Structure 1
Amino acid sequence: MPITAQHVRETVIAYLTEHPDEKDSLSALVRTLDRAGDTIASRKEFRGHVTAAAALLRPDGRVLTVEHRVLGKWLLPGGHVEENDTTLVAAALRELEEETGIAPDHVEPDSGLPLHIEVHSIPANPEKAEPRHLHFDFRFLFRTTTDRVELREEEVTAYSWQFADALTAEPLRSRIVIATR
């Protein structure tokens, strides 16, 4: 069964229980969820839709980042949820494997809760007939001991294992730094 609005809502509620200070920053997500319902998981929901990403942490404190081909930015491995994804954490794990070739049996989820939820704007893409819209990116922490990466080059162009303190996005950076301890 695809990801439902109920699953997204329950995940947001659990996240806000841990991070109540982020209620205002997630208001666009909550509003869109109320209006979109189950289409919140569809990439064709242009009021905004959920995406999932993996913060993959090695024991040496390095986090895997990939250079996104379309956006030209260094990001965590991740992307749109798909019809066969049943949870947001499973979608993050699938995206990790698709983009980096790191199989789920080399990865251990830290918890079922997102490490961070970010709301960001995606520019219009006339080639795909997509207007400017919001992504509600659910970022989950995973741990690994592998460093072998096989990029899916149609989506990402490069990868790097960065020390967590080199990341610039807050509060993601701080939360990963804490997780390294």
Structure 2
Amino acid sequence: MAILKIARMGHPVLTRPALQVEDPTAPEIRRLIADMAETMEDASGLGLAAPQVHVGLRLFVWRGGAGNILALINPEIEAVGEEVEEGWEGCLSIPGLRGEVPRAARIRFRGLDVEGRLVEGEAAGLPARVIQHETDHLNGVLYPMRMTDLSRFGFNEELHRAAQAGAAQAERRAEEATA
């Protein structure tokens, strides 16, 4: 297995739609998935799509329940219901930044696993967000393109500092209100 180079925002591979995987059980696909899983682990990511490692194919790996790393090949997703949730996202291709992104609260997904077997299910919360984020990569979409309020986009350190300052200010107000 190998640690792969992660493409960063600005590289054209990240804005092109990826191609269908013709043979999910091919040895080179299995090797790619293993290398992507190792790369994701090394980078402490929750998901990693093939275009992020300079491979324009429709597959991604992600950390499923109980910490297992799963692969989804040629995924299809659809929203279940109309509820949308705002949530903070980062991306291994956009290091050091984070933004608040609206996503479907619940999704239905289907695709193939590394054995070529059909995998389908529903997801909500963080798993739904990760699957949508990674599927966006396969369609040439980066999370800032989904943002509706760019004032909620910034460097991790600055956002953390601002959150701490806001919490300290709220604490002072609460103390003043009880005094």
Bucket of the pairwise TM-score, normalised by the shorter protein: under 0.3
Using the size of structure 1 for normalisation, the TM-score is 0.23
Using the size of structure 2 for normalisation, the TM-score is 0.24
Q: Which has the larger radius of gyration?
A: 2
Larger helix percent: 2
**Structure having greater relative contact order (Cα 8 Å, sep ≥ 6):** 1
